[in-house]
Structure 1
Amino acid sequence: MLLLGKSRSERLAVAIGAVFLLWAVLWQQSAFGGEPSVKPVEPGVAAKVDDQIITLEELEKVLAPQLAKLQEQRFQLMETKLEELIEERLLALEAKRRGITVEDLLKAEVTSKAPEVSDAEVATFMTQNRARLQGDDAELRPKVRDYLRNQKAQAGRHAYLASLQQRAKVEWFLEEPDPIRVPVSAEGAFAQGPKDAPVTIVEFSDFQCPFCSRVVGTLKEVVRLYPKQVRLAYRDFPIAGLHPKAAKAAEAARCAGEQGKFWEYHDRLFESQAQATPADFKRFAEQLKLNDKSFAACLDGGKHAAAVQADVEEGTRLGITGTPTFFINGRLVVGALPLEMFQKIIDRELRRQPK
């Protein structure tokens, strides 16, 4: 459209006419099969199939175990990175105060003060880790010495940073989000601790799993440290593909539980994981002075096979893929974690309790 040579009023009239023409075209497209108008999405709706609605709440409930893992991983990443950034800032501030570079600061306070690695330390490390080390001793010694030297330097760095934190004003404002909780029942499970404990730990475990065996002592310490605050419930999740005898071991523990000796038998199974035949299970019952005939009838008759399988099905529904897996007040925790991690989570749960 050429508007040159026309007056200002004429150009304005032409422009207004063009706008009305464009509006008319768009209205006709909408009224006679043009682009469809977008309907507003109802709050909380993820999808609709005909008249059937799938809500976001429904979707999140189905994915709760996976979402809980992702949320935990996200927070751990943020917590770790924040600690690194704080350390970097502390080093930079101290270097600036001294008028030197961070590299020179670390050389002066960490590298130069790292103790030497003795021949005895190298020899001790090689003896203790012989099964994992490959190569002859002449090749290994300098590598082991470098490794131990780095370990000592890292320990010195951590100690120095701790001293800087004590002198500086460091405040953390990163808060852990309220965890996604998965409703898990402890009803019918063998348990230790008061029923009204503010923290319930539901463990899904496998009597033939080596990682499950490692955490037994840790859980005993948890129960000892929190006698009134924690209830520990045991549920079965034998992984048949890896441990074909684990399901029968779980049945045997339940048979022992009928005679009031579940936890004693539980400990015996984890102490003797290599011994997992029906004969071994009956021998353990004899050692614990159980009624032999009742125990044998229970085990040989598969009395608790269905109950063990029900636990497996429940664990599968909850998204469990490995053992040990814990639900601490519904909060998903996976693996043979150290005592400090259990304490950290339990203490957080206790702080959340109403005063």
Structure 2
Amino acid sequence: MRVQWLISGFVALTGPCIIWASCGRSVDRRVAGEAAGQVIYVDEVDDLIQNSLYEYLFAIFDARSIATNELINSRLLEIEARTRGLTIDSLLSIETARIGKVETKSKYIRDNALHGGVIEEKSPFKVHQPDSEIGKKILDNSYRKFLKVRFIETLRAKYKTKVLLARPQPPAIGLDDVRIYARGNENSKTCITIVSDFDCSACRRAYPEFRKVFERYRDQVRFEAVNLSQNVTWAILLAECAGEQGNFWNAYEALYSENYHRTDRDSLIRILGLNRNECIACLESSRMNSKITTSMAQLHSCGIEVTPTVLIDRRTYYGPLESGAIGRFLDDLLLQKQND
């Protein structure tokens, strides 16, 4: 029902196709409505609701992914049971018992830190002791599911399973007039762009996750940083002026460190080893202020208003801002490019 609602809502909002306007997007001049003789075009509507549109698309994709994997698992169990002349229940009983000799319940409890308590799926906020009657029942059910998953993983490898659903493809965003700094594999055809603000609390919370992604993929992916704020802050100015001296990334790391708010400007200039006179002149320069303002205005014109925003291959990434989730997205993208 939820998937049907999402699809019907998505169709009602978008019509037969989505074509984006501005920032390198093609323009859809179909008429959506009229008011007092004024025409309202589809691209104007889409510009207002583009985030909602992609939330629907990704929700549909996630629902399809879950359903696809459930169907694959069911088919694999049927095939394996038929091949071995067993019922599915008998197959699962034999194989989970075999796996359970290695992946014992005590190991499962230890690996998942379940000594302190277990949680029932339908009551996720209540913890039960594993030696209580209900705790034992929850633990037994959880352990059986774990053994079944382990067996299905072996079947997926044996039968070379593939999930071929294509992720939704957000529109490409043009950043021609935006100030961008790059590191990692600068020749890579895959790039991740972090649009952030040193004074944004969400950016500071996300930064350690972004750092983990950089450390893991620095040899495979081009990493880009772009500054965005409501105003030209002194931190952004300092990073940009450090960039003028070829020292942007050291400034970037320093400004995201825990000590940033406890360090004054002169101390940061000294720590970063910048030419002080050149840096002060840059910080006080209307020219640099104007360049940053122009860059941020271009981001706003492309619909990038919030920080942090993550672009992958210049397309907005809508997944969790967590290193594991971003890593899985990059793994899929790199594999797809390799296969292509």
Letter of the 2:154 counterpart: S
1:213 to 202, 208, 219: 208
Q: TM-score, normalised by structure 2?
A: 0.65
Correspondence for 1:269 among 248, 255, 259: 255
Residue type of the partner of 2:330?
Answer: F
Alignment-derived partner of residue 348 in structure 1: 336
Equivalenced residues, count? 289
The answer to whether the aligner puts 1:45 opposite 2:31 as a matched pair is yes
Q: What CA distance in whole angstroms lies between the structure 2 residues aligned with 1:297 and 1:145?
A: 69
Deviation at 1:304, TM superposition (A): 5.2
1:177 Cα deviation after fit: 6.0
Q: Which residue of 2 aligns with 1:72?
A: 58
Give the Å deviation of 1:87: 0.8
SS in 2 for 1:47: strand
Is 1:252 matched with 2:235? no
Cα contact 2:184–2:214 (8 A) shared by 1 = no
1:253-291, CA deviations, whole angstroms, 9 ceiling, x for partnerless residues? 112112110012212233x23432451x54333223112
TM-score (norm 1): 0.62
Q: CA RMSD in A?
A: 4.4
Q: Any runs of at least 4 consecutive aligned residues in structure 1 with deviations exceeding 6 A, and if so which?
A: 122-127, 143-152, 193-196, 300-303
Distance change (3 Å), C-alpha of 1:150 and 1:303? farther
8 Å CA contact 1:204, 1:325 repeated in 2? yes
Q: Supply the distance in 1 between the matched residues of 2:36 and 2:194 (Cα, whole angstroms).
A: 41
Aligned to 1:117: 106
CA-CA distance at 1:60 after TM superposition: 3.4
Residue-by-residue CA offset, 1:66-124 (whole Å, 9 max, x unaligned):
4334323322321222012211232244456544353x543432267141326993897
2:149 aligns to what?
A: 158
1: distance between equivalents of 2:184 and 2:86?
Answer: 58
Q: What is the aligned counterpart of 2:270 among 280, 286, 292?
A: 286
5 Å matches for 1:1-355? 44-49=30-35, 52-61=38-47, 63-95=49-81, 98-102=85-89, 105-110=91-96, 113=100, 114-117=103-106, 121=110, 142=131, 155-168=146-159, 170=161, 172=163, 174-176=164-166, 179-186=169-176, 187-192=178-183, 198-207=189-198, 208=201, 209-226=204-221, 231-238=222-229, 247-270=233-256, 272-277=257-262, 279=264, 281-299=265-283, 314-320=298-304, 323-334=307-318, 335-338=321-324, 339-348=327-336
Residue 15 of structure 1 is matched in structure 2 by: none
Larger Rg: 1
Q: 1:179, CA displacement in angstroms?
A: 1.3
CA distance in 2, matches of 1:301, 1:115: 67
Percent identity at matched positions? 19
Gap regions ≥5 residues in structure 2: 1-28, 117-124
Change (3 A) 1:282 1:117: farther
